[in-house]
Amino acid sequence: MRTAYSVDSVRAAERALMARVPDGALMQRAAAGLAVACGQLLGRVYGARVVLLVGSGDNGGDALFAGARLARRGAGVTAVLLAPDRVHGGGLAALLRAGGRVVDAPVGGGADGSADADGSAGVSERALAALDGARLVVDGIVGIGGKGGLRAPAARLVRAAAASGALIVSVDLPSGVDADTGQVRGDAVRADATVTFGTYKPGLLVDPGREYAGAVRLVDIGLDGELGAHDAALEALQYADVERLLPVPGAESDKYRRGVVGVVAGSARYPGAAVLCVAGALRAGAGAVRYVGPAADAVVARFPEALVSAGPPAAAGRVQAWVAGPGLGDDDAFLRDAVAADVPVLIDADGLRLVDVSAVRGRDAPTLLTPHAGEAAALLGVSREEVEGARLESVRELAARYSATVLLKGSTTVVASPGGGAVRVNPTGTSWLATAGSGDVLSGLAGSLLAAGLGAGDAGAVGAFLHGLAGRLAAEGAPVGAQDVAEALPLAWRDVRGA
């Protein structure tokens, strides 16, 4: 399991560890790891031109100590100081001792400037010129102490660094990305790589921050023991975690023991949604799929193994979980039956629009809601952009409002439980999955995992993982349709099981 901790937890863990190690030891560990990563990116350190963008806190200190290490290996290192009067003294001294150069960013060497008419944002010509011809820029502007969007001088330098064509390495996290949420307000560093210390931060694993971070490398500074006392803010299942959770049938299994999933989906207008939902459900671990609704002919024509009926759901026979909503149109009668059933229910698509909050909140069995950003926005009464910019906040808020597990689909799919706790973040997503009907496949898949006995959080996270992996395997760099994704699900299973 990959975990990420909140800034508060990181700070508390660092305090506890610092009390037991010599002064400055943690920063030295961080800087050593950072310098190694920079050296690997550069290939040849000797003679390389490196620019450090140095803010006023310890993030800048890390950059300065790492810069000193690179300078000792023969790099030409220039530190651009955003706040010369508040720079990390020890780091600056180390860089100067190692032969590094220093340039003040503010015009006239004063404190942080502000936006001005010529667009220089109070940044000196010398600071901007330092970036010319740089091979590597180290972003030590702000780390976990960053608040709000980057101030104007920092933003100006970030734009100049991006235009310089140099490789950009962010220290701990890209400056301008909110460490706890991944939100980006205004300018932020777009890094080729981010070297983070002690633990992942949530903003490195969730878009939009994740996209800004580039390849993320974790440097061990000895925090693990201390972090154990805190709850992770985020968890990302890895292959081994998913393998443990997959519902693999035993010798005694029959279709009921494996789980039967019922699908309430499709309409005369949207029969395809029913077919795709069943396609996902058939390849996810349940022993049988019952389809209930007006698209029975289309379903059985494509999948003779599906058990179909015209409805209502209560007359369909035994099921261990329902999936309700894809392509339903405006008819909510079967949806209401499914929501009233005392088994786990997954609600998706039209079902999210039609379902009553109080009916969901009143359920005893687990509920899993699977909105995309647009649907989540409608449920929360905000814009789609607000949801996309604040995925963690949105998914937590929905889980609390509906007293349900919520899987928010998108560039980073996240799953929150009603009782709070760590949000699951899916590491396998791919933009090829942004295709019509792909969500119907996911709802069938995750519903089938519910029927097979997984809890709602596990069903959502494992479903998203397999779905993402199937999307990648099906796409292999070319466009795919939702049916291709469903058909690649067995490949994803085999990949996870190492079979």
Tell me if 47 is assigned to a ligand binding site. no
Q: Using alpha carbons only, what angle is made at residue 431 by residues 282 and 177, rounded to the nearest 5 degrees?
A: 125
Spell out, one character per residue from 114 to 143, where the chain touches ligand NAX: x when CB under 6 A holds, - when not: ----------------------------xx
Q: Does 180 bind ligand NAX (CB under 6 A)?
A: no
Are 460 and 445 in contact by the 8 Å Cβ rule? The answer is no
Q: How far is the CB of 153 from ligand NAX (least distance, A)?
A: 8
Task: Choose, by CB under 6 A, the member of 154, 368, 422, 451 that binds ligand NAX.
Answer: 154
Tell me if 458 is assigned to a ligand binding site. no
> Is the bond preceding residue 344 a cis peptide, omega within 30 degrees?
no
How many residues bind to ligand NAX according to rule CB under 6 A? Answer: 27
Chain residues binding K ion by CB under 5 A are 139, 170-171, 175
Tell me if 255 is assigned to a ligand binding site. no
55, interface contact from K ion, ligand NAX, none, CB < 5-8 Å by kind:
ligand NAX
Q: How far is the CB of 64 from ligand NAX (least distance, A)?
A: 11
Q: How far is the CB of 22 from ligand NAX (least distance, A)?
A: 12
Residue 175 or residue 367: which is nearer to K ion going by CB? Answer: 175
Task: Write out the two tokens for 469.
Answer: 């992996």
Q: Does 352 bind ligand NAX (CB under 6 A)?
A: no
Residue 103 or residue 369: which is nearer to ligand NAX going by CB? Answer: 103
Residue 212 or residue 465: which is nearer to K ion going by CB? Answer: 212
Considering all CA atoms of the chain, what is the largest pairwise distance in Å, rounded to the nearest integer? 81
> Is the bond preceding residue 208 a cis peptide, omega within 30 degrees?
yes
Residue 56 or residue 413: which is nearer to ligand NAX going by CB? Answer: 56
- Which residue from 175, 195, 194 is spatially nearest to 186, judged by alpha carbons? 175
Q: Does 148 bind ligand NAX (CB under 6 A)?
A: yes
Secondary structure of 372-419 in HEC code, one letter for each residue: CHHHHHHHHCCCHHHHHHCHHHHHHHHHHHHCCEEEECCCCCEEECCC
Residue 214 or residue 410: which is nearer to K ion going by CB? Answer: 214
Tell me if 201 is assigned to a ligand binding site. no
Tell me if 327 is assigned to a ligand binding site. yes
429, interface contact from ligand NAX, K ion, none, CB < 5-8 Å by kind:
none
Residue 28 or residue 394: which is nearer to ligand NAX going by CB? Answer: 28
250, interface contact from K ion, ligand NAX, none, CB < 5-8 Å by kind:
none
Task: Choose, by CB under 6 A, the member of 23, 118, 147, 330 that binds ligand NAX.
Answer: 147
Residue 38 or residue 142: which is nearer to ligand NAX going by CB? Answer: 142
Q: Does 450 bind ligand NAX (CB under 6 A)?
A: no
16, interface contact from K ion, ligand NAX, none, CB < 5-8 Å by kind:
none
Residue with tokens 């494992």: 462
212, interface contact from K ion, ligand NAX, none, CB < 5-8 Å by kind:
none
**Chain residues 51-70 in contact with ligand NAX, contact rule CB under 6 A:** 55-60, 62
Contact range with ligand NAX by CB under 6 A, out of 130-138, 147-155, 231-239, 379-387: 147-155
Query: What does the alpha-carbon distance between residue 485 and residue 273 come to, in Å, rounded to a whole number?
Result: 14
Q: How far is the CB of 152 from ligand NAX (least distance, A)?
A: 9
Tell me if 272 is assigned to a ligand binding site. no
Q: How far is the CB of 428 from ligand NAX (least distance, A)?
A: 28
Residue 52 or residue 261: which is nearer to K ion going by CB? Answer: 52
Residue 24 or residue 329: which is nearer to ligand NAX going by CB? Answer: 24
The binding site consists of: 58-62, 139, 143-149, 172, 175, 273, 327, 372, 409-413, 439-440
Binding site for ligand NAX (CB under 6 A): 14, 18, 26-27, 30, 55-60, 62, 142-151, 154, 171-172, 197, 221
The binding site for (6S)-NADPHX consists of: 58-62, 143-149, 172, 273, 327, 372, 440
